[in-house]
């Protein structure tokens, strides 16, 4: 049986998404307007949305259904 390699993340998901989004936005700023730039900006927005969802899910106000 093969064992899965476990990897403990050192940086939180929210921080990793924010850093990746910032890097993608910087990369998109260097491109001329067009489909490639739009795709990069879309990925950056998706990462930011994921970060917000993660923040919302981890909030103390969220309660499980009863």
Instruction: Write the DSSP string, 6-62.
Output: P---SS-HHHHHHHHHHHHHHHHHTSPSSHHHHHHHHHHHHHHHHHHHHHHHT-TT-
Domains in the chain: boundaries: 34-58
Q: What is the pTM of this model?
A: 0.74
Over the stretch 6-60, which tens digit does the pLDDT of each residue have? 888 899 888 999 999 999 999 999 999 999 999 999 999 999 999 888 888 888 8
């Amino acid at each position: 049986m093969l064992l899965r390699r476990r990897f403990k993340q050192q940086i939180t998901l929210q921080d990793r998404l924010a850093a990746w989004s910032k890097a993608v936005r910087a990369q998109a700023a260097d491109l001329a307007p067009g489909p490639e730039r739009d795709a990069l900006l879309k990925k950056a927005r998706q990462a930011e949305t994921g970060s917000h969802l993660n923040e919302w899910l981890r909030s103390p106000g969220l309660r499980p259904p009863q």
